Structure formats: C-alpha cells, structure tokens
A = this chain, B = another copy of it.
Amino acid sequence: MTKKYLQPDVTVDVVLFMIEDGDLKVLLVEREHGPYEGMRALPGGYLHEGETTRIAADRVLHNKAGVDNVYIEQLYTFDTPGRDPRGPNFSISYVALVPSPLPIGESDDVQKPEWFSTKKLSKLAFDHQEIIDYAIERLRGKLEYTTIGFNALPKLFTLSQLQQVYEVILDKTLDKRNFRKKMDQLKMIKETKHVLSGMRQRPAKMYSLLAKPGTIKNF
C-alpha cells in the first residue's frame, strides 16, 4: 500500500487505579527521556509487532506494576493532533483496577512507578491528566451498574472495606445501614466463615463475591 493515508504511531497507556488510605490512587512513572522528560506520565509504551492493544496493556501492567490477571477494559482512543510533539500519535488507553493490598511484589522497572493520589496531581506529561479524568468518570459510571468495584478488593473482604471502595470512587460518604441493606437485597455476595480480627475492635465477617466481577448488572 502506498503511503497516501495516515499511519500514526500507536501507544498504549494504562490508567491503573488502587484504593489505599481512603484515597483513589493512580500509578505513574517518570519519563526518562524524550518529550516531557522528568515529568510524571501514565505507564505505557509503543505497540509491538503482532500485539493487540489489550496484550500490550497487559504487558505494561506486568512490567510496570508487577500485576497480572487484573480487571482491565479499553477506555478511549485519544488522537488530538499535537498530543505528542514528535508526530501523529494515537493513545489507546485502558483502565484497570487492582486490589489493595497488592498481592504481588513491585516491579523492577527503571521508570520507578509510584502511586499518587488522584486528588493532588502535579502537571503530567502529554494529555495524561485528561485521560485520568476520563478514566475516573468511567470508573464512577460503571460502579453504579456493574461489579467493577469488587476488583479493588481481595477475594475475601469485609462490608466496611467494600463500602469504602464505593465511598472513595464516588467521592462521597454513604450510610452504613443503607449500604448493607442494598448489598443484602442484591444477593451478589455471600458470607464466609472467616473473620478479620486483630484490629483493636470487634472482628468483621468476611464476604466473597458470588458472580464473576464485571458481569452482573442492575446495581
């Protein structure tokens, strides 16, 4: 094919969220060279030959955060002209939500990935702030009608932990009794015989999700 049409560079960027210390945090790396050197950016990179964007996103998550098999979905394709000063570039972005505490060790990547509160971010490289804002919006939307929120927790969790996931993502406090009533009538979680104890307070019952995360609707 003769080059009559635009063939942009394709990068894949991942907005990886985690909930920690009652805060919604996002994983950022430091740019080592090129445009925006020294600034914080979303973990990402060029698409390799033979890769789908989904596989590239998995690779980025594995290399930068040391996580595998996490919830991930395609977010949006950003193609504003000039978003990369080097030339035409599309960012196919993905959102992911991983459990806290992280089950796997940190990565040995050189770009020092770090978690930052989404509430106080300094100026980021490229249009990555815009991408993060859009990702938060998507996360909030999906929280209302899917089981996406459970991805922020390990397999066994307490109702207080679950409520905190909702509170942090929606950025508002919820009533404890109403929240539990809702969870009860949705019949999506089941009590286990485990308790979370040793925490200077009454031990909490632990629950598990009945269906696969991300599938059930009608919250």
By a beta-carbon cutoff of 8 Å, the part of chain A in contact with chain B is 1, 4-10, 46-54, 74, 76-77, 79-81, 86-87, 90, 92
Query: Assuming A10-B90, A52-B81, A90-B10, is B76 touching A46 (CB within 8 A)?
Result: no
Show 15 A/B contacts (Cβ-Cβ < 8 Å), sorted by A: A1-B86, A4-B46, A5-B47, A5-B48, A6-B47, A6-B50, A6-B51, A7-B7, A7-B8, A10-B90, A52-B80, A74-B76, A77-B77, A77-B92, A90-B92
Give complex CA distance A92, B51 in Å: 17
Minimal Cβ-Cβ distance residue in B for A49: B6
Q: How far is the CB of A98 from chain B (nearest CB, A)?
A: 23
Partner pick for A9 among B1, B52, B77, B92, CB 8 A cutoff: B1
Give the 7 A-B residue pairs with the shortest CB-CB distance, closest first. A5-B46, A7-B7, A77-B77, A6-B47, A6-B49, A53-B79, A52-B79
Oligomer: number of copies:
2
**Are B10 and A9 in contact (CB-based, < 8 A)?**
no
Give complex CA distance A153, B94 in Å: 34
Report chain B residues within 8 Å CB of A74: 76-77
Report chain B residues within 8 Å CB of A80: 52
**Are B6 and A8 in contact (CB-based, < 8 A)?**
no
